[in-house]
Amino acid sequence: MMCTDIEGRSIQFNGYGLAFTKAFARSQGVNPVWYLDITPGHHWLTNPIGQLVDDAVRTATPAGATDPHPMTLAADPVLQLTPFIDQMGNPSGIRKEFWWEREWRHVGHLQFAGDDLVVVFAPEYEHGILRGSLARHPRYEAAMPRFVDAQWGLERMIGTLAGVSDLGPFPQLPASG
């Protein structure tokens, strides 16, 4: 579903991605996004966050300057939180909802070993190429991740992740949009 056309979505995902367990992600400082409802009338969270960001900008802007000092601004505690905050709701009639997904984010480079990676998402026609490339890398000698196509149906994904060799005829078809 993440890669299909969804009415009102302003971006289209391409079907490539990596999946890790939540336990591993949390151990590496990955955190679920905190969604703030920006629908008109829902100001109990957005206004205080906005005020904290404005205060940080004011504090980081030297006297007489028009722009804040980037390093001072980046060091402000609220700016260390904002990469993990996003907006949702219905501001000005523009709908931005996330009822059906849970986004996790990490600031900086995520360090992981080959056996930390659980699933690689890529179009099926690239699985062999990617598997061959990873097989030449020492970090994947112990464990090769499973490969799935985001367009596959749920049964095929589950079967592939479980290592089922005979998936039968029906899961072979891509998911319909």
What whole-number distance in Å separates Cα of residue 34 and Cα of residue 102? 10
pLDDT at 43 over 60: yes
- Domain end call among 55, 77, 105: 105
What whole-number distance in Å separates Cα of residue 145 and Cα of residue 18? 10
Of 147, 172, 155, the C-alpha closest to 15 is 147
Write out pLDDT tens, residues 115-133: 888 899 999 999 999 999 9
Residues 84 and 112 in one domain: no
What whole-number distance in Å separates Cα of residue 128 and Cα of residue 131? 5
Our CA dihedral for 128, 130, 132, 137, rounded to 10 degrees, sits at -160
- Domain end call among 105, 128, 147: 105
47-56, 84-93, 110-119, 140-149: segment of lowest average pLDDT: 84-93
Total domains in the fold of the chain:
2
Residue 47 structural domain = 31-105
Are the CB atoms for 85 and 34 separated by under 8 Å?
Answer: yes
Q: Is the pTM of this model over 0.75?
A: no
